[in-house]
Every structure is written in C-alpha cells, then in structure tokens.
Structure 1
Amino acid sequence: MSLMRRAAYAAGMMIRETGQALDRLGSSLQGKYAYVEQLSRHRQIMNLDTAKPILSTPAFIAPSASLIGNVELSPSASVWYGAVLRADNAPILIGPRASVGDRAVIRGASQIAADATVAPGAVIDAAEVRARAVVGAGAVVSPGAVVAENSILRDGSYLPDGAATSPGDIWGGSPAQRERALTQEEMDSITTTVEETVALASAHATECGKTHEQIEAEKLRQSLIEERSEDYNSHMGLLGREAEIAEVQARIVEEDREEQRKVGAA
C-alpha cells in the first residue's frame, strides 16, 4: 500500500510540475514582453513525501507559520506568526491548548505537552516540553533535554543536551541552572496565560479566516454606524437600531457598487 501511495504522490507531482513548466515555456516565448508574476511559495501546511501534518479543530495556525511533515496539532493548540515546525526526520506533537510563539522553531522528535507555552523566538530541537511548562523568549532547548511540568525556563536561557529542569522550579542561564521554586502567583499566571492565549488564538483564527470582501463589508457597516452621533440617534428615535439602519444602508451601497462594476466591465 505504501508503494501505491508513493506512486500516486509521484504522479501528482509530475502533473503539477508540468503546469509550472508550461508557464515557464509561455514566458520564454513572450521574450522581453513577458510578465512573470513572482508568487510567494509559502505554505502553512506542507507534506514531505507521505508525511503530512495532522490537524485537529479548533486550532489556530497563523498565515505565515509553517507546519512541515509529520506534525500533529491537538485541539485548541496555536502556532503563531512566523513559527516553523519542521518534522522532516521525526514527528512533532503539539498538545491541547499548547502554544508556539512568533518565530519559534521546533524540529526533530519533539513533544510540546498540554498547556505548555513556547515563547517567541525559542528553539526546541528534538526535546520535550511537558505539561504547563514555559520556555521563555529566545531560549534554546537542546536534543534530549526536558523542560519539566510546571517549570519555567527563563528568556534567553540554554538547556544543554540531555539536561532537565525540575518540576515547579524556575531555571535560567547558559547553561541553565535552578534558581528557585515558583510562587503560587507564578503558578496561577501560567494557567491564566494559557486561557488568554486560547481565547486570543480563537479571535485570530476568526479574523484570518475572513475573505477580503468580508473585511471590507465589516468596515463599511462600522463606518455607517459611526457617521451619526449618539445625540443624533436619540433625537431621531434610532437608539438601539444603529446596526439595523447600518445594515440597510450598507446593502444599498454594496448593490450600487456591484452595478458600477458591471457597467465598468461592459
């Protein structure tokens, strides 16, 4: 079965490459008059051979993030802007409600457990971040290292190969060493951060999923609501009906714009 999948994958690649080759041939025939559009080849989700990311819902993947190969994303997990999860040689598992911050890099056989936080710019290289652990911004966790549950690795710290933090403690430095135990307030802040990140990721997922037309429609309705002051609406007896009036006006504007586009196209 694996052989058949590989053959189908290879056939699909040949067909896609054929289309690209035809585009290049057409451009060459046009010579100096050709317009070559430089398209971004960035892909949020990219398979390598038969290794393909497995995504649960709900989860948030930023438009500029990259999930490559055998990555598994659990429910309510989030991967933020510019982050790269590169599972080309071994699997990467992101647990429920875990977050991978902006520009963070995870590679090799890595596991980020439930409610764990990988802050912006951190690097996780074939390592393990356990439940409710926090890896600070710019920190590096080397192969075989473990960030224990309910522990914090400070910003910019370096956890060497095979090293492990102790549960419930703060570690920092290069190489990282134990500094002290976490206070109850710090333990509570981990939970609060996880909850806030899950809510924020949901908001970003909703916004990033909107089309250009949806965004423009929302802007139009908001501007129509803001055109009239609360005092004006009160005098006109429109208080509480602002959204209703704006919806009617917006539809008239949108229909007018559509008619203008048709006239222009003709």
Structure 2
Amino acid sequence: MMSNPGLVLGLINKRINYNIGRTLTELGLQMDRYGSKMSSDLAFRLNFSRHRQILPLYDSIPETKSTWIAPNATLVGNVILSKYATIWYGAVIRAEQNPIRIGHFTSIGDRTTIHSHHSLQHTLTSSVNIGKNVSVGANCNLHSCIIDDDCVIGDNSVIQQGARLERGCQILPNTIVVSGSLIPAGQVWGGRPARFVRTLTEQEQLNNYARSYTEGAGEFTSEEGNRVWPHQFDDAPLQDGEQSIENYTEEHYFKVKH
C-alpha cells in the first residue's frame, strides 16, 4: 500500500504541515499568555474556558452534523455521530486508534468514556459501533465493542473489548460485560460479571424504545434547556428523500406491529 512514492510523500507532507501548525498554535497561545500578564494580570477574573469539544487527530476530524454535544464533552479523532445523537456533560469519546460510530437518536450519558483499541484478536472488532436509539447511562466505560439498535445500558456499567450487545437488550446498572461476551436480543443481564436475569416482554421493549427517545427531548423543556439546545438541531433542512425527525421516529419506534 505504501509502495507508491507519491502517496508516501503526500502523507509525509501532510504530517509535517500538521506539526508546524500545532507548533505555531502553541506559540501563539504562549504569546497571548505573556501579553496578558504584561498588560494586566486579570486571568483570575475572566470567565473563559479553553476547553475544546472537537479535537482533530492528524487528518481525522470528528463528524458531528445535526447533533448536540455538551459544552464540556470531548470528541477526539475519528468519531462519527449520526443525526440527533446527544453527548452529555463530561463525556469523553476517544477514537485515536480506530473509528467510533454512534447512530441516530443515541444518548451518551454524563462522564461516560468510550474508546477504541488498536487491534484485538481476529474474531473481535477493534472499533466501536453503537446503533440507533441506544441509551448509555452515566459513568459508563465502553471499550471496543458492538452495541446494536435499541439497547439500554445502566449507569456505572463497563462493556469490555470484543463484547456484543444484540438488539433491544438491557444492561442493569453497575454491570461488567466481560471481553468477548454476547448478550442476546431482548434479554436483561446484570452483575459482575454479567449474567442472565430474565427476558424482556414485548411491551417492555416498546417502553424502552419510547423512553430512550423522549428522555433526551424532555431534558430541554425548561427555559434554560431551550436556551442551550441548538436550534439547528430541530431546523436542519431535509435532503431529497429524507424523512423528518417526527416521521422517522413514528415509523421506527412508536409504530405498533400487529
């Protein structure tokens, strides 16, 4: 793959430009700090945060169109967010090694950490793939794993590398799903390590889908919520053949099948 001299030179040139850009950026920040101290040291009075939500890693830039990301959340590298996903306060998503993909309507809870490994056994995925309408609770840790659509993961849970959660399953709070585990569709698992608890009824699965979707919107019904919620999230123009958020939700999550 690297035998083409033009490709090699192009990658080297891109890496050199990236490092020069970082050096100039840091130099500018350092000059800004010294200039502020020389003029008047008012840093302790300034209400200013240098926190960056989006951190490109070389040529890998997180894709976040029509999503909501909390002001103090962090996305690093090759992170791909689908429309209407929400990343909550203090969450960290690190895709330095392999991609992390998060589907439509999925919610990542407060202070949750998601990261991908460089490589695993040939039978295990080293990326992170999270489907649509998934609810991940607060303080969770997700390593390289696959989470299918409509799953619910309780607070303080750990999903280790190579694990797979099939569609509609539920992980109880404070659970550890060990490496290489397979959680079957429509089941409840809990414990350390995770063990089978019971099977969800069809009504419980429908309730999980509805609650996962509506909880995210319900957080922003207050005046404060309406102020911080991005208006383009609701007003994003539809492309040709694309459904509105209301029609998509009605068809996929609230339509009862007979």
- TM-score tier by shorter-chain length is 0.7 to 0.9
- Name the TM-score, length of structure 2 as normaliser: 0.72
State how far apart, in whole Å, the 1-side matches of 2:42 and 2:22 are: 22
> For residues 193 and 2 of structure 1, do their structure 2 counterparts lie closer, same or farther at Cα, with a shift above 3 Å needed?
farther
Which of 101, 104, 112 does residue 104 from structure 1 map onto? 112
State how far apart, in whole Å, the 2-side matches of 1:190 and 1:5 are: 46
Aligned to 2:41: 35
Matched, 1:6 2:12: no
Task: Give matches, 1:227-242, under 5 Å.
Answer: none
Q: Secondary structure at the match of 2:90?
A: coil
Which of 79, 94, 106 does residue 87 from structure 2 map onto? 79
Letter in 2 for 1:21: Q
Q: Is the 8 A contact 1:44 1:63 kept in 2?
A: yes
State how far apart, in whole Å, the 2-side matches of 1:82 and 1:3 are: 35
Matched, 1:208 2:228: yes
Question: CA RMSD for the aligned pairs?
Answer: 2.3
Following superposition, the deviation at residue 34 of structure 1 comes to 5.3
> For residues 205 and 114 of structure 1, do their structure 2 counterparts lie closer, same or farther at Cα, with a shift above 3 Å needed?
farther
Q: Is the 8 A contact 2:220 2:229 kept in 1?
A: no
The structure with the greater share of residues assigned to helix is 1
The number of residues matched between the two structures is: 206
Larger Rg: 1
| C-alpha distance after superposition, 1:45-93 (max 9, x if no partner) | 1112222101122x11111111111100000111111111111122111
Which of 44, 48, 71 does residue 53 from structure 2 map onto? 44
Letter in 2 for 1:176: A
State how far apart, in whole Å, the 1-side matches of 2:92 and 2:229 are: 20
Aligned to 2:100: 92
Q: Secondary structure at the match of 1:54?
A: coil
State how far apart, in whole Å, the 2-side matches of 1:160 and 1:166 are: 14
Following superposition, the deviation at residue 8 of structure 1 comes to 2.9
Letter in 1 for 2:41: Y
> For residues 205 and 94 of structure 1, do their structure 2 counterparts lie closer, same or farther at Cα, with a shift above 3 Å needed?
farther
Matched, 1:127 2:135: no
Q: Is the 8 A contact 1:60 1:201 kept in 2?
A: no
Following superposition, the deviation at residue 209 of structure 1 comes to 5.7
Unaligned runs of 5+ in 1: 211-266
State how far apart, in whole Å, the 1-side matches of 2:225 and 2:16 are: 35
Unaligned runs of 5+ in 2: 1-9, 117-126, 231-258
Q: Is the 8 A contact 1:60 1:205 kept in 2?
A: no
- Name the TM-score, length of structure 1 as normaliser: 0.70
Quick one: percent identity of the two aligned structures?
Answer: 31
State how far apart, in whole Å, the 2-side matches of 1:79 and 1:201 are: 13
